[in-house]
Structure 1
Amino acid sequence: MGNSAMSVRQGRFLKRIPWVLLISVVLLSGCAARTHYVGGPRTPSRKLLLLPEGRKGKSFEPYVVNGETYYPLPEAQGFRETGIASWYGKKFHGRRTASGEIFDMYRKSAAHKILPLGTHVLVTNLRNGKKIVVRINDRGPFVKGRVIDLSYAAAKAIGLVGPGTAPVRVVALGKEVGKLRTGHGVRPVVRVEDLTRGSFAVQVGAFRDRENALRVADRLTVLFDDVEVSEFRDNDGKILYRVRVFRSGQVRRAREIEKRLEDMGFEEAFVVRL
């Protein structure tokens, strides 16, 4: 890939696939694969965008921290990951977050490097099984090996404050669709989607440059019968080229393909619900 390639997910996810392996697969498969190019830039429907109204603008633009460039996702549908969670509190209490809000350590929120600001995620502490739903309103953590930073209140709710860190699973849920008034004040109502039902594909990446997307797709046609490159616009109106493979009605099969792609070097591949 050339220097013009700009993955919307974190860079450097595409590793070289040995052509010997690809040729072997062709000889074994004995069938022709096909690449579908879905033309015409289109704006994704609101149900695919997990960014609340009023948080558009720079939320999807690449940014640099400590010399590392990060590419925020234009959507979070189907996103999930496991890794180490940490928490932050007094040092940042009262400071402005990446979303423009003032950080309150006593409210349940979180920071993530690439999920759209405003995304609600389910965080499960894999040590004790405790779970909590939080909204992403900041960027971080910028410590190697860590996937999410929880506010003090969120960390306390799942038993993270004492140890400081813990292995967690992070699953994107949905977007804020309204407010609910309760005896404890007004809180957001989140539409939680069942991510195990529907039609699924595996997204390999999204690129600013069309030719780079097509080159990746051409490599994948050796391994998959159904490879699709489609155009869409992010919230800033910029055209991106999305590469997806393997449509299925079974999320289990899609997860298997995701794992297969990761083993091949596409480490940032992830399942999306169509």
Structure 2
Amino acid sequence: MSDFPANIDYVAEPTPRWEPLHKWANRPYTVLGLSFTPLDTPGQLREQGIASWYGRKFHGQKTSTGEIYDMFQMTAAHPTLPLPSYARVTNVKNGRSVIVRVNDRGPFHKGRVMDLSFLAACRLGYATNGSAEVKVESLLPSDAPSTIVAAAQQPIVATPPANNNKPLVVPMANQTGGIYVQLGAFSSQQNADNFKAHLARELAQDANKLTVHNANNKLYRVRLGPYASRDAALDAMGRVTGEKNLKAVISQ
């Protein structure tokens, strides 16, 4: 990766401060058969798992809060932390720790707890490796309202979603021009667009087949396709369930 900003070494970590939660980005949602209910209080969550990072492919695109992703800032994506909020992330292997501002949803890859910006991954020492085991600690800003401070007194230790072992039902339907694999349905076009962007990095080989389809003006469906045959769709589904460690079954 080249063309680093001249002042990249001087980019400061963000200072946690109270920010009103985003109106849309904190609603419950379903992705790849898993349901997520975002937390409404920062400073509660403590978890440990694998963190990845996202870089130039998503540089300049909108995050779930509508902000523009900058791979050279100290930010991160998380499935359930309040947006926006702040977290301390520590690399378990080398002990390095950074503070990031969480302003995006993801990752949706099984077993990963957070996506960090390229710069944050560099600071933690794992950008060249792609991923690392980290500890994530949601931070409570010192200027948070008293009601939020009281609610944050109940810490949460993250556990896998209750339906983590249930198969994802991925309907396949014969549409004009081929077969599609539906991966998610949203009432908000912005949420669908955000999911499509995040899913693109999990399904790089099929990213050019990801679309958002709105048939009834109510649901925005994120789909893979079209595929010319069922065999071609099955081949793509094999990559989803195998290489990307995502669960899926096919129904027609």
TM-score where L is the length of structure 2: 0.49
TM-score where L is the length of structure 1: 0.45
